[in-house]
């Protein structure tokens, strides 16, 4: 069934979330968990996994139900679907990994109000087939994971001298405690956005120069 | 009495929702361009917080002992209704403000600060009065953070900043410095 063009389109739905439309660094959604739980790499990954489960589950379900949900009450319907999935994650995590659950605290429940999930439901899953919504959700989830991992590992290395709990920098490293405290989150995300903006600007400059040379 | 006072001070400055718990970042970065709009959004938020706190107390005592797994769903529905209500009130009282807040008004529903208040209140076992004081304190904290941010951004508009840094990156760095300043409050009452 799937011709070459269809496959490449599906592939495109999947990849765009990881880099080109990265939810955190490019669209700048879902800031609260990005800042709050990334004081260590492992917390970031756990949070990203939980978010991804909710994102994929709710995108798939909403896309399947998209023809039955009346337009006027769609937001409430989405919220109920999302809240159900979050309740599932909340209870499962409490049973499987109580330590991680304690550390993430209320932020697991707060996945309900993560704008990424609502944003994808409204902007994508409500208008597309289940297959494409699934791939879109997977891509966005991976992009979110990548962002949390980038944030969490830099903050853990600088703030604690370790990565995933393994000591990297030796006993003589004086940790920058500020990086694992709240201000570090803001500053780190600011720096990452700055890096991305600088990249984009350089690329644009190069393109302009190439155009000028061609002309 | 003194306990209520601590709840108020603690939720307003020491554990400021925006600057130490990272709750309500979207309006914090999105709407904080003008001081007067920031103040009004802060007040709208506080209003929703108070309504939520009241409803949560009610839900916690009436429904949820029987069905704890409905907690999240019922909270979020109550919040959505409260926001709808505030939206109607603002549209009637001040159409100009309604336009100025734009999309950020319905987005109060997905403002983490509101749901977080409901969850924190439940986890800490606050009663009716404590809940309301907590809501007012948190609302004041949110407003304070919004207004400070808006003030700094109004100044930043006029200064000479490299183009790369403009926008969200700069706002986050400013927020980081503000948050650093608020860390100073952390030691304020440790002796008591």
pLDDT tens-place string over residues B57-93: 888 888 777 777 888 888 888 888 888 888 888 888 8
Q: What is the mean pLDDT of chain B?
A: 82
- Evaluate if residue A3 carries a pLDDT over 60: no
**Cross-chain Cβ contact A31/B22 below 8 Å:** yes
pLDDT of residue B8: 86
**Which positions ≥6 away from A2 have C-beta within 8 Å?**
A10
Total number of domains in chain B = 1
Mean pLDDT for chain A overall: 83
Confidence at residue A67, expressed as pLDDT on a 0 to 100 scale: 86
Give tens-digit pLDDT for B126-141: 888 888 999 999 999 9
Let me know if residue B191 belongs to a domain.
no
Work out the average pLDDT over A35-64: 88
CB B51 within 8 A of CB B82: yes
- Residues in chain B closer than 8 A to A84 (CB atoms): 73
pLDDT digit string, tens, across residues B17-60:
888 888 878 778 777 778 888 888 888 888 888 888 988 888 88
A88 touching B (Cβ < 8 Å): no
B177–A183 C-beta distance less than 8 A: yes
Domain annotation covers residue B192: no
- DSSP string computed for B25-64: HHHHHHTTTSHHHHHHHHHHHHHHHHHHHHHHHHHHHHTT
* Residue of A113, A152, A202 to mutate, interface with B, max B Cβ within 10 Å: A113
pLDDT tens digits along A199-212: 888 888 888 888 88
Residues of B with CB under 8 A from a CB of A: 19-26, 29, 69, 71-73, 76-77, 80, 109-112, 114-116, 119-120, 123, 163-165, 167-173, 175-177, 179-180, 183
- How far apart are the C-alpha atoms of A8 and A10, rounded to whole Å? 5
pLDDT of residue B192 exceeding 50: no
Query: Residue B65: its pLDDT value, please?
Result: 77
pLDDT at A4: 59
pLDDT digits (tens, 9 = 90+) for A140-150: 899 889 888 88
A31·B164 Cβ contact <8 A: no
- The model carries a pTM of 0.81
Is the pLDDT reported for residue A2 higher than 50? no
Domain residue limits at B90: 2-184
pLDDT over threshold 90, residue A85: yes
Best mutation target, B68, B82, B176, to test chain A (most A CBs within 10 A): B176
**pLDDT at res. B1:** 62
Q: Which of B19, B49, B76, B82 is most worth mutating to test chain A (most A CB atoms within 10 A of its CB)?
A: B76
In a domain, B100, yes or no: yes
Q: How far is CA A192 from CA A114, A169, A199, in A?
A: 20, 22, 11
């Amino acid at each position: 069934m799937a011709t070459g063009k269809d496959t490449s389109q599906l592939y495109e739905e999947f990849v765009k979330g990881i880099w080109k439309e990265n939810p955190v660094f490019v669209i700048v959604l879902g800031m609260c968990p990005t800042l709050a739980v990334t004081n260590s790499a492992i917390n970031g990954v756990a949070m990203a996994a939980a978010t991804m489960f909710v994102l994929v589950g709710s995108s798939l379900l909403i896309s399947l139900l998209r023809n039955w949900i009346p337009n006027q009450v769609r937001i409430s319907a989405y919220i109920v679907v999302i809240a159900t999935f979050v309740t599932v994650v909340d209870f499962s995590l409490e049973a499987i990994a109580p330590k991680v659950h304690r550390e993430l605290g209320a932020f697991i429940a707060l996945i309900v109000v993560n704008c990424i999930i609502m944003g994808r439901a409204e902007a994508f899953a409500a208008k597309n087939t289940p297959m494409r919504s699934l791939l879109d959700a997977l891509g966005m989830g991976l992009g979110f994971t990548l962002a949390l991992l980038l944030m969490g590992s830099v903050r853990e290395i600088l703030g604690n001298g370790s990565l995933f709990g393994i000591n990297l920098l030796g006993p003589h490293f004086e940790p920058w405690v500020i990086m694992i405290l709240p201000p570090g989150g803001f500053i780190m995300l600011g720096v990452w956005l700055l890096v991305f903006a600088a990249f984009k600007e350089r690329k644009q400059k190069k393109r302009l120069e190439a155009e000028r040379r061609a002309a | 009495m003194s306990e209520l006072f601590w709840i108020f001070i603690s939720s307003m400055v020491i554990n400021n929702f925006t600057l130490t718990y990272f709750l309500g970042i979207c309006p914090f970065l999105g709407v904080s361009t003008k001081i007067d709009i920031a103040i009004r959004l802060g007040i709208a938020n506080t209003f929703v917080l108070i309504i939520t706190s009241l409803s949560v107390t009610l839900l916690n005592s009436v429904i949820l002992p029987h069905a704890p797994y409905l907690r999240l769903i019922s909270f979020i529905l109550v919040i959505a209704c409260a926001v709808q209500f505030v939206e109607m009130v603002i549209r009637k009282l001040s159409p100009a403000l309604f336009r100025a807040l734009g999309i950020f008004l319905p987005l109060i529903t997905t403002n983490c600060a509101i749901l977080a208040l409901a969850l924190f209140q439940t986890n800490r076992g606050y009663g009716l009065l404590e809940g309301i004081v907590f809501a007012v304190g948190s609302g004041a904290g949110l407003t304070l953070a919004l207004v400070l941010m808006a003030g700094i951004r109004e100044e930043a508009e006029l200064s000479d900043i490299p183009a790369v840094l403009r926008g969200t990156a700069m706002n986050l760095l400013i927020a980081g410095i503000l948050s650093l300043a608020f860390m100073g409050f952390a030691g304020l009452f440790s002796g008591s």
